[in-house]
């Protein structure tokens, strides 16, 4: 940030926070403190800080700029050239990270596949998927099969003829589980 940008930023902060005291030396001090930061990043940081609090210090601007720049790297993934060396990879990665943090996103990669028409993709919506390729679920307990004696459904406890629930299973249900496991 140069001196002219520091003056503009100090005026902007004074406009956003009119109760904050500024004098003729404030822009000079801010230009020295914020020398390594871009004006656009500092202005965006001022906007974010002003939404939270009534006064803004240069240290808060620096912290917010760092947070904004780090946030620009979310979902960033470097796509290396298959022919580049490790030294080129490192150099290109660092350069691209610096560009992204400065707010310049690299162009999106070209889609290598062939586009499929929307109607072709939508044709399968609402239809059941074929089950032949689906793996069978593993039977783990007698509750995974229907009881042949009391006709208790899957995941339902066996019942006595009086209707009360049994603590265990009928032997025929255990046999049905073993038969089902052997068939699978």
Domain-ending residue, one of 49, 71, 93: 71
pLDDT at position 137: 60
Give the residue with greater pLDDT, 13 vs 184: 13
- Answer whether residue 108 is part of any domain: no
Could you tell me which residues are beta bridge partners of residue 159? 165
pTM for this model (two decimals): 0.52
Share of the chain above pLDDT 90, in %: 36
- Answer whether residue 98 is part of any domain: no
Residue 162 has pLDDT above 70, yes or no: yes
Rounded to an integer, what distance in angstroms lies between the CA atom of residue 80 and that of residue 16? 43
- Answer whether residue 99 is part of any domain: no
- Answer whether residue 161 is part of any domain: yes
- Answer whether residue 52 is part of any domain: yes
Which letter does DSSP use for residue 165 in this model? B
- Answer whether residue 42 is part of any domain: yes
Domain count across the chain: 2
Domain-ending residue, one of 71, 95, 127: 71
Rounded to an integer, what distance in angstroms lies between the CA atom of residue 78 and that of residue 86? 14
Residue 149, judged by CB atoms within 10 A of its CB (0-12, 13-18, 19+), counts as middle
- Answer whether residue 127 is part of any domain: no
Three-state SS for 172? helix
Query: CA gyration radius for the chain?
Result: 34
- Answer whether residue 83 is part of any domain: no
Residue 38, judged by CB atoms within 10 A of its CB (0-12, 13-18, 19+), counts as middle
Domain-ending residue, one of 18, 41, 71: 71
Identify the domain containing residue 30 by its residue range. Answer: 3-71
Alpha-carbon torsion 67, 72, 74, 80, what sign? negative
Three-state SS for 109? coil
Mean local confidence (pLDDT), 136-144: 72
């Amino acid at each position: 940030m140069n001196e002219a940008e520091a003056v503009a930023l100090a005026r902007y902060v004074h406009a956003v926070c009119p109760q904050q005291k500024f004098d003729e030396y404030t822009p000079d001090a801010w230009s020295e403190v914020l020398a390594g930061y871009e004006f656009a990043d500092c202005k965006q940081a001022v906007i974010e800080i002003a939404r939270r609090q009534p006064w803004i210090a240069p240290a808060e601007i620096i912290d917010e700029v760092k947070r904004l720049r780090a946030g620009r790297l979310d979902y960033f993934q470097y796509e290396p050239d298959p022919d580049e060396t490790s030294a080129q990879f490192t150099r290109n990665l660092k350069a691209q990270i610096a560009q992204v943090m400065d707010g310049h996103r690299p162009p999106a990669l070209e889609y290598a596949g062939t586009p499929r028409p929307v109607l072709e993709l939508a044709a399968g919506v609402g239809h059941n998927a074929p089950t032949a390729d689906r793996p069978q679920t593993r039977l783990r307990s007698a509750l995974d099969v229907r009881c042949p004696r009391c006709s208790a459904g899957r995941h339902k406890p066996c019942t006595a003829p009086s209707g009360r629930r049994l603590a265990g299973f009928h032997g025929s249900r255990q046999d049905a589980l073993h038969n089902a496991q052997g068939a699978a």
